[in-house]
Structure 1
Amino acid sequence: MLQVKIVPVTAFQQNCSIVWDSETKEAILIDAGGEAEKLIAEVEALGLTVKALWLTHGHLDHAGAVGALTEAWNVPVIGPHKEDAFWLDMIQDVSAKYGFPIPENVNVTQWLEGGETLKLGEEEFEVRFAPGHTPGHVMFYNAKYGVLWTGDVLFKGSIGRTDFPRGNHQQLLDSIQRECFSLPDDTQFISGHGPMSTIGYEKQHNPFVAGKAG
């Protein structure tokens, strides 16, 4: 059975997801944004073996711990789309700007395009390309359990910012319509910040996109 523990990290309270198969205890981390030692302790407490680190996009608060964890666990880094390479290349400079500890560099093992199927044990995750917040943003969808990891594309009651370099508001709205609102209404999603929600709830109540589904 698929299990998930959300661990907020950094001053931005970014939701890092520890995702694992309860039978094999194999795990992946989605958006390990910082506080590597905290995440290592969580994984050890759960008795898990991490197989990979997945990234929705290249922003500091989503990728800040990836370099250190790659060294600690010797695992591949999967995602995001290569259009976010410039964000990952700047991660040390951006960290210094915000007064964060300077992280290890992030070396991506596999860039994603969208449409790929990633596996954790027997569980499958569909990669959905959703640019707008950043040009190379991807999301991860598990159809069996009806769970979508939206990164900073869609939040409960809000949507991602597009005022960063190469952000695009219309592109973000298009991504939400195409990649989020095409999923069943009862799909739960885990966003990069804040509480979980469902696709159906956001279609009805999110003031940025409500009533625009279809």
Structure 2
Amino acid sequence: MNWFPIPLGPLQTNCYVLHDEHRQCLIFDPGEEADKLKAILAEKKLRPVAILLTHAHFDHIGAVDPIRDHYNIPVYLHENEKKWLADPARNGSAYFLGGEVRVRDAEHLLKHEGEMELGGFSFEVFETPGHSPGSVTFYFAEKGIVVSGDTLFMGSVGRTDLPGGNEKELMKSIHTKLLELPEETIVLPGHGPVTTIGDEMAANPFLHGFRN
């Protein structure tokens, strides 16, 4: 299994594509620029099987409907944000320039943590609320990667000043879920460069001094 990022939209949200040897792929957080994403997938001859959302903020969902419709694939989202996709006030687009974002309901709602299998891909889902109530993280143990959304970044953590954000929950999620992973685990964040769990444990200033 291999992966690559595609920064999309004005906030350069990282959309990740994970693909296997059969050219099947999973799409994480298609935030905008659907045509750009489709062109890259076509160039690489990849066949998407699902869209997985780390959370439902506008900059992570803007291209969901055109990608879903083009490939006829389902969308997965945590149930705590099932109403966010179509609500600009909840998904945050009402507060930013560029127009309101409204997306149709997800076909599948994630209701608990645990192992999942989709199209031959096996991974774990962690509930990591804090940046938003329904934030989740996807962990691929065999590949040693974790798709963290806006929970953990290189040298930083997710903001908690948006509706539904909670700093205490965020820090608890990071320390009890992400920092429990092997230190060599590669972190694929929602914005910015890739990092590792070990690097963030050693150098991320936001993670030191926290008490659960």
Same fold per superposition (TM over 0.5) = yes
Cα distance between partner residues in 1 of 2:72 and 2:98: 24
Q: Match of 2:132?
A: 134
Question: What's the TM-score, normalizing by structure 2?
Answer: 0.92
Look up the match of 1:71.
69
Q: CA RMSD in A?
A: 2.0
8 Å contact from structure 1 (residues 20, 28) kept in 2: yes
- Residue 35 of structure 1 corresponds to 33
Secondary structure, aligned partner of 1:58: coil
Amino acid at match of 1:77: V
State whether structure 2 residue 182 is matched by structure 1 residue 184: yes
Distance 2:165 2:176 in 1: 17
Distance 1:94 1:137, change over 3 A: closer
Instruction: Note the alpha carbon deviations across 1:40-78, whole angstroms, 9 max, x for none.
Output: 001001101111100000001111100111111110001
Q: Measure how far apart 1:28 and its partner are.
A: 1.1
Q: Is the 8 A contact 1:50 1:75 kept in 2?
A: yes
Q: Say which SS state the counterpart of residue 109 (structure 2) adopts.
A: coil
SS in 1 for 2:172: helix
Tell me if the contact between 1:19 and 1:28 (Cα under 8 Å) persists in the aligned partners.
yes
Q: Does 1:84 align with 2:81?
A: yes
TM-score (norm 1): 0.92
Alignment of 1:153-168 (within 5 A): 153-168=151-166
TM-superposition CA deviations, 1:145-193 (whole Å, max 9, x none): 1100000000000000000011000000000011101101111110000
Equivalent position of 1:5 in the other structure: 4
* Structure 2 SS opposite 1:173: helix
SS of residue paired to 1:86 = coil
- Give 1:210 shift: 3.2
The answer (yes or no) to whether the contact 2:76–2:108 under 8 Å persists in 1 is yes
Note the alpha carbon deviations across 1:129-156, whole angstroms, 9 max, x for none: 0000000000100000110000000000
**Which one-letter code corresponds to 1:36 in the other structure?**
A
Residue type of the partner of 2:82?
Answer: A
User: Per-residue deviation at 1:213?
Assistant: 8.8
Q: Could you tell me how far 1:87 is from its partner in structure 2?
A: 2.4
- Residue 125 of structure 1 aligns to a residue whose secondary structure is strand
Distance 2:211 2:203 in 1: 11
Matches of residues 99-118 of structure 1 in structure 2 within 5 Å?
A: 99-100=97-98, 103=101, 105-118=103-116
Q: Using the TM superposition, name which of 6-15 and 66-75 deviates more.
A: 66-75
Question: Is the 8 Å Cα contact of residues 27 and 120 (structure 1) preserved in structure 2?
Answer: no
C-alpha distance in structure 2 between counterparts of 1:133 and 1:71, whole Å: 28
For 2:112 and 2:178, locate their aligned partners in 1 and report how far apart those are by CA, in whole Å.
13
Structure 2 residue runs of 5 or longer lacking an equivalent are none
